[in-house]
């Protein structure tokens, strides 16, 4: 297992491409200029020790030195030992509504971005828990399976948007049904599902599905995002507003937070409703809920004792730079004997 401390320094490798182009341009320019001065036979007599091979050799030495310096600045680290770490936690699944109504800007910056902020802050407050993420609109889809890798989970979370599902609607029942397949540890007593939604346009028998989830030991908490006053649904292209969504009667659609549906779902699954307006209060409430549950102990293996490896690449870069300095561009005796380019002696 390895880690890259500062991968941004890989961009320095682009300097090698620039150097290569400049090297070829200078080489072609020198050749053309020399040919204007005299022909190749006379030039060989005037500068018999000029070596094209040495010029290429020095370029490649310098290029490899820059590559080694780039990798040294990235500072790769290698895990030298695997340890079994015992953790205690709860299995937590987040079901995020990505329907078009989540584009409404009645809560800043808009409902879906607010939802992602809430989930991100909740994940940041977790410790030994395992998490999973589901997205849903007209249908549900798995985004992140149950994992302890919070960094990857947040990366996938940030990529979620309202274009991920072509069929529109809010199939909360499908999200709940999919969540029941997420909890892969039969010994885990505490299983929690947080549904983050505006509660609009729900489809199917949500109450019945919530009750079935409760029978499987899943507690459902709903987090309402939006306002009861509501707002229009903006349709944007490249970040620019094109128009607002309209219905079949050409009336502007106003989407509103449906707290009744969300409360009904949570009440039927031994959970509760949380107002998503204040991020700090949501995180505190969720933390309190999870801390009040019995934690299950489980083991996970992970690499530890990551050691820096930059010194090897730095030493290699210095060695290559020293060689580049010591090597002259004129031919040496052994190189003349090799006669790499079949030159007339």
pLDDT of 345: 46
Please indicate whether residue 98 or residue 296 has the higher confidence score (pLDDT). 98
The pLDDT-based confidence of 50 (bands split at 50, 70, 90) is low
What single DSSP character describes residue 80?
Answer: E
What's the CATH number for 85-300?
3.40.50.410
**Coil/strand/helix, residue 19:** helix
Query: For residues 71 and 85, what is the distance between their CA atoms, to the nearest angstrom?
Result: 31
Query: Which H or E element spans position 155?
Result: helix 150-158
Please indicate whether residue 225 or residue 336 has the higher confidence score (pLDDT). 225
177-231, pLDDT tens digit by residue?
899 888 876 666 678 999 999 988 666 678 888 888 998 889 999 999 999 999 9
pLDDT of 307: 81
Does 135 score more than 90 pLDDT? yes
| Token representation of residue 301 | 């293996």
pLDDT, averaged across the chain: 84
Does 335 score more than 80 pLDDT? no
The pLDDT-based confidence of 84 (bands split at 50, 70, 90) is low
**Which segments of 216-302 does DSSP mark as H helices, in order?**
259-267, 279-291
Domain spans of the chain, in order of start = 2-75+309-338, 85-300
Does 330 score more than 80 pLDDT? no
Q: Which residues contact 239 (CB under 8 A, 6 or more apart)?
A: none
Please indicate whether residue 49 or residue 24 has the higher confidence score (pLDDT). 24
Backbone angles phi, psi at 31, to 5 degrees: -65, -45
Residue 143 near residue 170, CB atoms below 8 Å: no
Q: What is the mean pLDDT of residues 46-63?
A: 76
The pLDDT-based confidence of 54 (bands split at 50, 70, 90) is confident
pLDDT of 166: 74
Which of 148, 172, 143 shows the shortest CA–CA distance to 90? Answer: 148
257-316, pLDDT tens digit by residue?
999 989 999 999 999 999 999 999 999 999 999 988 877 666 555 556 678 888 899 999
Considering only 81-85, 165-169, 178-182, 193-197, which range has the smallest mean pLDDT?
A: 81-85
Please indicate whether residue 83 or residue 289 has the higher confidence score (pLDDT). 289
Backbone angles phi, psi at 109, to 5 degrees: -75, -35
| Token representation of residue 279 | 């991020």
């Amino acid at each position: 297992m390895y880690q890259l401390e500062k991968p941004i320094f890989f961009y320095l490798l682009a300097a090698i491409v620039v150097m290569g182009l400049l090297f070829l341009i200078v080489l072609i320019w020198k050749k053309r200029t020399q040919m204007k001065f005299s022909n190749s036979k006379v030039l060989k007599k005037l500068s018999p020790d000029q070596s094209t091979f040495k010029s290429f050799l020095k370029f490649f030495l310098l290029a490899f030195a820059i590559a080694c310096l780039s990798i040294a600045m990235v500072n790769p680290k290698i895990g030298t030992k695997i340890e079994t770490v015992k953790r205690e936690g709860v299995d937590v699944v987040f079901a995020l509504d990505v329907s078009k109504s989540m584009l409404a800007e009645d809560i800043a910056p808009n409902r879906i971005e607010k939802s992602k902020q809430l989930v991100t802050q909740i994940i940041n407050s977790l410790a030994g828990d395992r998490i999973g993420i589901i997205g849903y609109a007209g249908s549900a889809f798995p985004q992140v399976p149950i994992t302890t890798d919070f960094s990857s989970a947040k990366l996938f979370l940030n990529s979620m948007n309202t274009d991920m599902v072509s069929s529109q609607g809010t199939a909360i029942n499908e999200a709940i049904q999919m969540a029941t397949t997420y909890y892969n540890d039969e010994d885990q007593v505490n299983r929690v599902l947080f549904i983050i939604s505006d509660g609009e346009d729900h489809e199917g028998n949500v109450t019945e599905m919530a009750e079935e989830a409760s029978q499987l030991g899943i507690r459902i908490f709903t987090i309402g995002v939006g306002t009861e006053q509501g707002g229009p649904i903006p349709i944007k292209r490249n970040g620019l507003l094109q128009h607002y969504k309209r219905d079949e009667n050409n009336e502007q659609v106003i989407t509103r937070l449906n707290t009744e549906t969300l409360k009904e779902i949570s009440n039927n699954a031994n959970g509760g409703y949380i107002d998503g307006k204040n991020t700090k209060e949501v995180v505190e409430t969720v933390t309190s809920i999870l801390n009040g549950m019995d934690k299950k102990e489980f083991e996970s293996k992970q690499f530890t004792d990551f050691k820096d490896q930059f010194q090897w690449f730095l030493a290699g870069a210095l060695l290559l730079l020293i060689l580049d300095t010591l090597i002259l561009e004129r031919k040496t005796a052994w190189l003349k004997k090799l006669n790499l380019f079949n030159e007339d002696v």
